[in-house]
Amino acid sequence: MASHQQTPAPASGTLDVAALRADTPGCRNVVHLNNAGSALPPASVTQAQVDHLRLEEAIGGYEAHARAADRIEGTRASIASLLACRPDQVALMESATSAWARAFAAIAARHRLGPRDRILISGSEYASNALPALQLARHLGVRVDVIPDGTDGTTDAAALQAMLDEDVAVVAVNHCPSQNGLINDVAGIGAAIRASGSPAWYLVDACQSAGQLPLSAADIGADAISATGRKFLRGARGTGFLAVSDRALAELEPFPIDLNGATWEPDGYAVEPSARRFEQWEKSYAAILGLGAAVDYALGCGIEALAQRIDALAARARSGLEQIDGVRVRDRGIRRSGIVTFDHVSVPAEQLVTGIRAAGINVSLSTPEYSRIDFDQHQVTGLVRVSPHAYNTEQEIDTLLSRVSDLLAMPS
């Protein structure tokens, strides 16, 4: 596997938080608890991008691409290591949305989805995954049904299995929703689909889990796994990836395809054999090199070590928040992710977010338009989202908790 690291990553399994922080210039400026939005990148990620932009400036964009070709392909190999899949299953994309949409559109085109077809989505599905399904419902009569949650609040694999019949063309589930700390059992759901013998295509949104939880494409058993670069992977903005199954490689063509995905031949066209077919010709190679540096950094840290530290910081935040009068931690699930969501019985979440940010602490506001079904089902109108990464400290979590307490103690 090619490595793009500009600075050495910490030894696997041993997270040295001081070293992580030293590698992360932004730590000096802010308390960044918005890694589910866009994380602070390590300096090596920025350096990889700047170096390539400088090379483009110096010798020309195509020439710089040719010179960096091995390292660019190394990004694909690094993502394959992250997902325990083959590099030819990986497409380098501009975002999680473009990755997901490319797979979805290929399925819709292949099967000419229409009134006889059903799409099943998780109740916590992200807007940009649900909206294309709703478009097919509005324009082509496809039926969209929501998979119920189980008693623990995660997508219920058994309920899904009972819903699977020959009409179900697509099952779309997110691993970690953006607006809740639950972790869906995407491997269990994949097993349920396989056990049922359903021909449905299985799409997994790993946007919030890539970089914070171990991922195995084989265990999940999805036909498409989509993710972004800028969140827990700490990569460049404008990056993402898609990893596809052998079935997808055998049966799916992106629509529309371009000269990167196919070769124009005298009597038609030949589709690129690998997952590169899902990419378009033009890309930001600087951003891709940044993504490669980020994935290498995460792999160097050890994903399990990252997961444990993120979990510990999130657990600290949850238990501290639960002790503050009137605060309600809204996360569901038995196992929880590094996304902590809460509201207050009377103070609007927006007001809390403004007050927290005013103290130099980056958190975000989750609102219904990001995941309509989830918010409406649970009668939530706004949530404060706190999402630590391994480079955050216990003291930063405590600073957040004090700030929330102080805000709520202020006379309104």
Distance CA 267, CA 122 (A): 43
Question: CA separation (Å) from 291 to 32, 87, 241, 244, 282?
Answer: 20, 15, 10, 19, 16
Q: Which tokens hold the place of 238? A: 């404008």
The least distance separating ligand PLP from the CB of residue 369, rounded to whole angstroms, comes to 12
The least distance separating ligand PLP from the CB of residue 27, rounded to whole angstroms, comes to 22
Whichever of 164 and 233 has its CB closer to ligand PLP, that residue is 233
The least distance separating ligand PLP from the CB of residue 224, rounded to whole angstroms, comes to 13
Is 178 among the residues that bind ligand PLP (CB under 6 A)?
A: yes
Among 174, 184, 274, 366, indicate the residue that binds ligand PLP (CB under 6 A): 174
Helix (H) or strand (E) holding 18, with range, is helix 17-22
Whichever of 5 and 278 has its CB closer to ligand PLP, that residue is 278
Q: Which of residues 110-169 bind ligand PLP (CB under 6 A)?
A: 126, 128
The least distance separating ligand PLP from the CB of residue 306, rounded to whole angstroms, comes to 18
CA 287 to chain centroid: 17
* Token pair 């099943």 in the structure block, residue: 120
Among 5, 78, 155, 208, indicate the residue that binds ligand PLP (CB under 6 A): 208
Distance CA 370, CA 233 (A): 21
* 19: helix, strand or coil: helix
Rg, C-alpha atoms of the chain: 21
The least distance separating ligand PLP from the CB of residue 38, rounded to whole angstroms, comes to 9
Is 184 among the residues that bind ligand PLP (CB under 6 A)?
A: no
Q: Exposed, middle or buried: residue 149 (CB in 10 Å: 0-12, 13-18, 19+)?
A: buried
Whichever of 78 and 174 has its CB closer to ligand PLP, that residue is 174
Whichever of 160 and 210 has its CB closer to ligand PLP, that residue is 210
The least distance separating ligand PLP from the CB of residue 264, rounded to whole angstroms, comes to 30
* Token pair 């590094």 in the structure block, residue: 338
392 Cβ neighbours under 8 A, 6+ residues apart: 31, 32, 33, 313
The least distance separating ligand PLP from the CB of residue 275, rounded to whole angstroms, comes to 18
| Binding flags for ligand PLP, 232-271, as an x/- string (CB under 6 A) | --------x-------------------------------
Is 228 among the residues that bind ligand PLP (CB under 6 A)?
A: yes
Q: Which tokens hold the place of 388? A: 């630590």
Total number of residues that touch ligand PLP (CB under 6 A): 13
Distance CA 284, CA 48 (A): 12
Which parts of this chain interact with ligand PLP (CB under 6 A)? 95-97, 126, 128, 174, 177-178, 205, 207-208, 228, 240
